[in-house]
Amino acid sequence: MKNIIALNHVSLLVKDTARALEFYQGLLGLELDESRPQMTFPGAWLVVGAAQIHLLEISLAATQAELPEHGGRDRHVALDVVDLGAIEVALEAADIPYTPSRSGRRALFCRDPDGNAVELVERVTA
C-alpha cells in the first residue's frame, strides 16, 4: 500500500522572518498563509500549491562559508516554476547569485538570505 501520498511542508531555519519574507514572498511571489497559529517563536507559513514552506526563526550558528558553493550539493527545497527566465531576471535585479543545474535540466540553484538552498525547476505546462 502506498502510504506517503504528498509533500505537506518543508521547514527552513531563518534568522529574520521579515527578511526571509522579502525573498520568498516579495521576490519569488509566494502567498502568505495567515492560518499559522501563535507559537513561542517568530516565523511564517507560505503556500506552494498544495504544500507549504514553514519559515522558523531561530539563531543560526552556521555561516555561509560552511555551505557548499552549489546548492545542488546541499539540503534544499525544490520549487517548480513556469518561467525560469523571469526568476533569473528577478535574482539578478536583487543581486542574488545563482548557478545553473549541473544535470542539464532547465533549473537553477540560489540561496535565501539565511543560506538555505533553493532549487527552481522550470516545468513545461501543456
Domains of the chain: 9-122 (3.10.180.10)
Predicted confidence at residue 79, as pLDDT, reads 93
Residues of the chain with pLDDT under 70: 1, 3, 60-65, 126
Give yes or no for a contact between 123 and 82, defined as CB atoms under 8 angstroms apart: yes
Predicted confidence at residue 27, as pLDDT, reads 96
| Cα distance between residue 64 and residue 110, in whole Å | 12
Partners of residue 76 on adjacent β-strands: 117
Cell numbers found for residue 98 = 545563482
Predicted confidence at residue 89, as pLDDT, reads 96
Predicted confidence at residue 1, as pLDDT, reads 64
